[in-house]
């Protein structure tokens, strides 16, 4: 017999969270599994409104960036990944410095403010490769923010170049890296992480690298890939692990949950999280993370309609109009958007669209529809690129 949670207890808990009270992981699990959907969304939206009280309360942001996948060669062989090729594979590739710089120049031309360099863990690429390419990008395009790599890359570079994590971070930062993406988190909890990414660093190591980075002045985001077979309790445990570090460092700028894409990889048959589970997770994250300011809804993996709904479930940001993305698209994400559409999507959700930078500062607030940009060149063309490549993991960040 399934015991039903007490509706009064749920309502009191939602009120407590909506009023800004901290909820425990046990309480979070109860809300995630048993709170009525609309009440959960309403409580999360109340928290969002309080956090952004004032001029920003009705604003929802987006960013224009380019995700450059510099290599698909990877030793780590995550089972959910359709993108990588093992070292020595005939389909493996690594872009030249010139090609990476060319893509950066294109991105600047199209109005991008941020570059996300994301790629496989190639045994050929040590710290010098990253130092060289970061310095070259900053030399040619000082206006670009390098929000790139992540804790997994720090661990990998440390192994290839025989360096401590702190030294890798310090050298990358000195070469031009501004902040780390939240990639590689997937799920930090040991059991499901070992199932989907047995060769990747542990969740504890991922968090420890991020904590080191934050303490060295390099901020980051935190992500969560849901839907690979984890339990609801494990979903909440992932959130709890991130919140504990954030209590000590304050270095996570945002939390970005997204759904696993099931095509072209070795997990295949596992169930993707449903749209309702995703919306519940967005709302729960807003209630649970009383210490992380921004919450990003994903339209890339869930579709624009669900992306739009996230704005009513606590999200304040819809991420990027990506000028290039090969990793998630390789695993089946097919949703495509341009800036005009994204602005319209935000506006028709009842919010004021604003282009932001990496630090979430508003660059352009689209107050008047008559002034909306009509430049269709600023679009995400991942749907038309590299669909023969593979999978997920290194991307939304
Ligand atoms: S997700 Fe990243 S680390 Fe894992 S196999 Fe793919 S490219 Fe390698």
CATH number at residue 287: 3.20.20.70
Number of domains, the chain: 1
> Residue for token digits 């040991």?
190
214 lies in some domain: yes
Determine, yes or no, domain membership for 11: no
Q: Which of 239, 198, 242, 237 is nearest to 80 (CA)?
A: 198
Per-residue pLDDT, 371: 79
Residue 51 lies in a domain: no
Tokens at 341, concatenated? 């559409």
pLDDT value, residue 122: 98
Enclosing domain of residue 329:
59-384
Q: Is residue 274 part of a domain?
A: yes
The verdict on residue 345 lying in a domain is yes
Measured CA to CA, the distance from residue 185 to residue 206 in angstroms comes to 7
Instruction: Answer whether 85 contacts ligand 1 (Cβ < 6 A).
Output: no
Establish if 48 belongs to a structural domain: no
397 vs 180: CA distance, rounded Å: 9
**How confident is the model at residue 150, as a pLDDT?**
97
Counting atoms of ligand 1 from 1, which one is nearest the CA of 75? Answer: 8
Residue nearest ligand 1's atom 6 by CA: 81
- Residue 89, in any domain of the structure: yes
- CB 80, CB 260: distance < 8 Å: yes
Q: Would you mind telling me the total number of residues written for the chain in this entry?
A: 397
Q: How far apart are CA 153 and CA 159, in angstroms?
A: 10
| 50 in a structural domain | no
The count of C-alpha atoms lying within 13 angstroms of the C-alpha of 341, restricted to the half-sphere facing its C-beta, is 17
CA of 78 to the centre of ligand 1 (A): 5
Mean pLDDT by 10 residues, the chain (397 residues): 78 96 98 97 98 95 94 96 95 97 92 95 98 98 97 98 98 98 96 96 98 98 95 98 98 95 67 88 98 93 90 96 56 61 93 97 92 64 29 40
Q: Is 70 in the pocket of ligand 1 (CB under 6 A)?
A: no
- Find out whether 394 and 83 touch, Cβ atoms under 8 Å: yes
Torsion of CA 325, 328, 329, 331, to 10 degrees: 150
Query: Tokens 């992306």 identify what position?
Result: 307
Considering only CA atoms, which of 156, 188, 180, 190 is closest in space to residue 77?
A: 156
- Asked if 303 and 313 count as a contact pair (C-beta separation under 8 A), the reply is no
């Amino acid at each position: 017999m399934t015991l039903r949670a007490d509706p009064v207890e749920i309502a009191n808990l939602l009120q407590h969270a909506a009023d800004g009270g901290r909820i425990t992981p046990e309480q979070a699990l109860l809300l995630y599994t048993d709170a009525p959907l609309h009440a959960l969304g309403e409580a999360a939206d109340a928290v969002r409104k309080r956090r952004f009280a004032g001029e920003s309360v009705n604003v929802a942001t987006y960013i224009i960036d380019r995700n450059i996948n510099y290599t698909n060669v990877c030793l780590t062989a995550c089972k959910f990944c359709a993108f990588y090729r093992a070292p020595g594979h005939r389909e493996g590739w690594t872009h030249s410095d010139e090609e990476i710089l060319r893509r950066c120049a294109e991105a600047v031309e199209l109005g991008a403010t941020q570059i996300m360099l994301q790629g496989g863990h190639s045994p050929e690429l040590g710290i010098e490769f990253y130092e060289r390419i970061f310095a070259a990008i900053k030399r040619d395009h000082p206006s670009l923010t390098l929000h790139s790599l992540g804790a997994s890359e720090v661990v990998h570079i440390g192994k290839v170049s025989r360096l401590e994590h702190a030294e890798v971070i310090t050298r990358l930062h000195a070469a031009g890296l501004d902040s780390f993406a939240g990639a590689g988190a997937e799920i930090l909890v040991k059991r499901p992480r070992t199932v989907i990414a047995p060769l990747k660093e542990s969740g504890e190591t991922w968090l420890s690298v991020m904590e080191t980075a934050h303490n060295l002045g390099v901020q980051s985001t935190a992500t969560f890939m849901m839907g690979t077979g984890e339990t609801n309790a494990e979903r909440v445990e992932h959130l709890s692990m991130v919140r504990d570090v954030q209590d000590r460092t304050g270095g996570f700028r945002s939390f970005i949950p997204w759904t696993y894409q099931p095509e072209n990889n070795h997990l295949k048959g596992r169930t993707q999280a449903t749209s309702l589970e995703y919306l519940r997770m967005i709302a729960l994250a807003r209630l649970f993370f009383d210490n992380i300011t921004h919450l990003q809804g994903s339209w890339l993996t869930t579709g624009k309609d669900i992306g739009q709904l996230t704005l009513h479930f606590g999200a304040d940001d819809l991420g990027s109009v990506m000028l290039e993305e090969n990793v998630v698209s390789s695993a089946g994400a097919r949703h495509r958007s341009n800036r005009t559409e994204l602005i319209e999507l935000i506006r028709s959700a009842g919010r004021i669209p604003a282009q932001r930078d990496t630090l979430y500062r508003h660059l352009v607030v689209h107050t008047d529809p008559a002034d909306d940009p009509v430049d269709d060149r600023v679009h995400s063309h991942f749907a038309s690129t590299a669909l023969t490549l593979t999978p997920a993991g290194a991307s939304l960040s």
